[in-house]
Amino acid sequence: MDREDHHLLAGRPRRFSELQVPLGSVTPKVLTESLRAMCRDGLVTRTAYDEIPPRVEYELTPLGRSLLEPMAAGCAWNREHLAELLAARTASAR
């Protein structure tokens, strides 16, 4: 899951809902935990604005941004080869 929400943050800071909607299948609990872990690892910052209604935004740090390229390589491999891997897995299960 970290991979997809990472890409969502590539463009600009995002609110929780702006991450949650595109990641439809991800529960709020998992998204919260992932964002918390990414903040803990210095990949993302969480900024709470003292406004009414309260606003919280998540943004990639330089360290987080440096991860975009290797993750893109992994995602590209995935798009190109995942079907082949899953077919091998199915064949070996027979």
Instruction: Determine if 83 is a binding residue for a second copy (CB under 8 A).
Output: no
Q: How far is CA 8 from CA 4, 26, 66, 90, 91, in A?
A: 6, 14, 15, 32, 35
Site for a second copy in 19-58 (CB under 8 A): 39-43
Q: Which residues pair with 48 in a beta bridge?
A: 56
As measured in angstroms, the least distance from the Cβ of 91 to a second copy is: 8
Closest distance between a second copy and the C-beta of residue 34, in Å? 15
Stretch that binds a second copy, among 10-18, 21-29, 52-60, 81-89 (CB under 8 A): 81-89
Among 17, 70, 79, 94, binds a second copy (CB under 8 A): 70
